[in-house]
Structure 1
Amino acid sequence: MRRHAHGQRGVAAVEFALVCGVFFTLLLGVVEMGRLLWTWNAATEATRLGARVAAVCDLNEPHIKTQMIGRLPSLTASNIVVTYLNPPAADNTCTISTCKAVRVSLTGYEYEAIIPFVPLTLDLPAFTTTLRREHMQSSGNSVCS
């Protein structure tokens, strides 16, 4: 009996190492998937916020991009495109009185995973939100300050 117990020494450590490796890999995958979904949702909300600010503030207000970067800090101004839409005109310009809508897009955004020893970067699709023009004037507007 004593001889049999001596042959089993260390088996628990080996089993623990095998189960622990699988468990922590699964746990890290779940955490990383949660981070990806959070980033996806934050990118969507950032475009919605940017469109809302653009619909009520002056044309090309710098506060639009600042608000979006505040919502998703890893954004850069080069990822954000603000387009003012107006009825067909010969010169294709947009003023406060002629703009009909605003479109805010987030393009070229990359998600970087934090999995150790696995450099993983995913290109997220473009996020776009279009809203009808509202006030489009920053003076006296608390949203634009």
Structure 2
Amino acid sequence: MYEFKTKETDNSVIEFIEKVESVKKRQDAYQLLDLFTEATGYEAKMWGPSIIGFGSYHYKYDSGHEGDAPLVGFSPRKAKISLYFATGDEKREALLAHFGKHTTGKACVYINKVADVNPAVLVELIKQSVQFLKEKYPEGNE
């Protein structure tokens, strides 16, 4: 049976951030921790070895694949900071147009540093993602 790598753990968020090599990236991680906590009202939890997630939801796809994931999150990776927001919401794209310097992947938004983006838009992206996922997956939200 498939074992999910990205699941909630009891590892310390602060210990994880303190192990980030780059001092600037560590400072950005603390800033993001504050922004995400304030915007969501959720306590930060580690998901897998490197994602700091907030809240959770249970998803089930038409294919039958299901699992749990954080509503939103981030990871201060070596190359860039990964931000995790809901995909499939057209409001996300409208907000990203005013977000600042970033790139996007299939499910992630990547930034070099927090100073490159508009913090007010970041808070709106966080709130919009949480709202979208709670509406799309009403059962199993925390």
TM-score range, shorter chain: under 0.3
Higher strand share: 2
With CA pairs under 8 Å and 6+ residues apart, which has the higher RCO, 1 or 2? 1
Higher helix share: 1
TM-score normalised per structure 2: 0.22
TM-score normalised per structure 1: 0.22
